[in-house]
Amino acid sequence: MALLEVRDLVKRFGETTILNGVNLRVQKGEVKVVMGRSGSGKSTLLRCINRLEEPTSGSIRLHDREVTGPSVDIRALRRSVGFVFQQFALYRHLSVLDNVTLALRHLGGLRRNEAEEKARHELARVDMTEHRHKFPAELSGGQKQRVALARALAMDPDVVFFDEPTSALDPLMCREVAILINRLFVDGVTVLCVTHDLTLARLISDRVIFLDRGRVCAEDAIENLSSGHADPRVQEFFGQEASGR
Amino acid sequence: MSHWASFVADLLDQLPLILTGLYQTLLLAAIVSVTGLALGIVVLHLEGSHRRLVRVIVRGYISFFVGTPLLVLLFLMYYGLPRIGLVMTPFAVALIGFTLNVAAYNAAYLGTARNALDPAELEAARAQGFSERQVFFLIMLPQVLRMSIPALTNQVILNLKDTSIAFLIQYTEFFARMQELAATNFQFFKAYAVTAAVYLALVSIIVLVARVVEKRFLLPGSYTPS
Ligand SMILES: Nc1ncnc2c1ncn2[C@@H]1O[C@H](COP(=O)(O)OP(=O)(O)OP(=O)(O)O)[C@@H](O)[C@H]1O
Ligand SMILES: [Mg+2]
């Protein structure tokens, strides 16, 4: 049984169909990578799964429980999904430590000192302990991302979403991000990562899903996708990106 | 010199009344600064309601009180409402009138600051599972208040100065007492110069306190909303 299973997911914004029947399975402990062109609906896919966007139709099951539909506890669903945003979106009025403790205290019901202990543990995982008293404005992009990850991990989510983890960073940071995600893999954290960064994809996962025209049109090892794939659009994407580097 | 001597003598003579007036001024200004901010925050919260009707009412409230002179409102309540059987003390009228007026201005300032928030942060909070109320109180409000410190300070200064119109509805505050002083010895210039100096001194204190508060609560790496 997959931890997360998306079936025939459709998302329309008015007349435009962005996701047109997406199917996807993520096993527990897996690092799943979804690739696709800019505008192919990668962010929309993640946002539908935790109901930041309402899916138009289709089924999404987390732990074999349907999470679409009006009777679902959306806030409980969101607590079980960690989300690391493209621009990190740290709370600028809070210190690094408080960014991580906020949900623990106000959603997890921990007292301040318990929450801080848990937060320090999560910050240590991403090597940010020494920066815990700084504010977001005093951090580099890579550091902000680590804090965003610690914030996402604090509530012990079932799965962590990354939306374009390298796009807001220096290209040289790609390896750092990969190390971070690989560490999650070793710890058994389930990851769903959307990106169009082929270098990152190679570093964190053997197989990738290719999203195009609102559908998953391939799922395979990157090597197989970049050479001689039946679908020319797949070949074009992976061929171009590879030679562009 | 004898003019000054007689003026000071009268001043000392009426000092207890003047100090009582000063107390009334500070009391009204302090209370409406607090209630005006509290109601302003409530209005800001309602302005973000998902119900259209609530938003329309809130906008109407702000436009009405920003668009009507406070004095007219006070007269309406003090001289008008008794005609329909509702009599209130000058203090009650001043308290209600000022609060409604000040809250409308504060809500407008806070609303401007809210437009400068990063929507991604609010979305991140929702994605973490916070309720709309939690997003408001934990993320929006702390940032909006900090960004609004200069505007809110200005409003406190205005509150202090504007309480002087309350004498027109028989609220005997500082300015009313100083007018009485001027009327006893006809030394208008001296009386009003002293009055002005006292207001100036009080405003300076507010400004100094506000500077400290602003330094303490400045948003780290803050951008100034333009
Ligand atoms: N709220 C919305 N209303 C209307 N259209 C939207 C909305 N959100 C996204 N879209 C459209 O959906 C399409 C897919 O957007 P999405 O952000 O999911 O793409 P993406 O694959 O994440 O792209 P990128 O790689 O640039 O981040 C885009 O064409 C976008 O304009
Ligand atoms: Mg995107």
Residues A3-61: pLDDT tens digits? Answer: 999 999 999 999 999 999 999 999 999 999 999 988 899 999 999 999 999 999 999 99
Of A93, A106, A137, the CB nearest to B130: A106
The answer to whether B13 contacts chain A (CB < 8 Å) is: no
Tokens of A241: 């990106």
Q: How far apart are CA A145 and CA A22, in angstroms?
A: 28
Is B168 within a domain? Answer: yes
The answer to whether A144 contacts chain B (CB < 8 Å) is: no
Is B184 within a domain? Answer: yes
Radius of gyration of the CA atoms of chain A, in A: 18
Chain A positions in Cβ-Cβ contact with residue B138 (cut-off 8 Å): 102, 106
* A94-111: average pLDDT: 96
CA angle B160, B141, A161 (to 5 degrees): 165
Q: How far apart are CA A147 and CA A88, in angstroms?
A: 8
B20: left (phi over 0), alpha (psi -120 to 50) or beta: alpha
Q: How far apart are CA B208 and CA B216, in angstroms?
A: 13
Q: How far apart are CA B191 and CA B196, in angstroms?
A: 9
Contact A135 B221 (CB under 8 A): yes
Structure confidence by residue, pLDDT tens digits, B61-111: 999 999 999 999 999 999 999 999 999 999 999 999 999 999 999 999 999
Asked if residue B2 has pLDDT above 70, the reply is: no
Q: Provide the domain count of chain B.
A: 1
Structure confidence by residue, pLDDT tens digits, B174-183: 999 999 998 8
B40: enclosing H helix or E strand: helix B15-47
Residues 6+ apart with CB under 8 A from A102: A91, A94, A151, B128, B138
3-state helix vs strand vs coil in chain B, percent to 5: 85, 0, 15
CA-proximal residue: ligand 1, atom 28 (nearest): A39
> What per-residue confidence (pLDDT) applies to B220?
79
Is B27 within a domain? Answer: yes
Is B224 within a domain? Answer: no
Is B151 within a domain? Answer: yes
3-state SS class at A211: strand
Paired strand residues for A25: A5
Is B17 within a domain? Answer: yes
Tokens of A90: 């740290």
Chain B positions in Cβ-Cβ contact with residue A76 (cut-off 8 Å): 129
Q: Please state, in angstroms and as integers, the Cα–Cα distance from residue A110 to each residue in A116, A208, B58, B136, following that order.
A: 9, 38, 36, 20
Pocket test for ligand 1, best of A12, A42, A50 (most atoms within 8 A of CB): A42
Q: How far apart are CA A65 and CA A80, in angstroms?
A: 12
* A93-121: average pLDDT: 96
What CATH number is attached to the domain comprising B11?
1.10.3720.10
Chain position carrying tokens 């405003």: B203
> Which residue type sits at B56?
V
Is B51 within a domain? Answer: yes
From the CB of residue A200, how many other CB atoms can be counted at a distance below 10 Å? 24
Is B225 within a domain? Answer: no
Say how many CA atoms lie within 13 Å of A223 toward its Cβ: 1
Model confidence at A245, pLDDT cuts 50, 70, 90, reads very low
Structure confidence by residue, pLDDT tens digits, B11-39: 888 899 999 999 999 999 999 999 999 99
- Domains annotated for chain A, with CATH where assigned, are 4-92+161-243 (3.40.50.300)
> What per-residue confidence (pLDDT) applies to A240?
62
Burial class (CB in 10 A: 0-12, 13-18, 19+), B24: buried
Whole-model pTM over 0.80: yes
Residue B197: give the domain boundaries.
2-217
Q: How far apart are CA B75 and CA A196, in angstroms?
A: 66
Tokens of A55: 């899916």
Helix axis angle for B2-13 and B188-217, nearest 10°, is 60
Task: Yes or no: say if B171 and B28 are a contact pair by the CB < 8 Å rule.
Answer: yes
3-state SS class at A111: coil
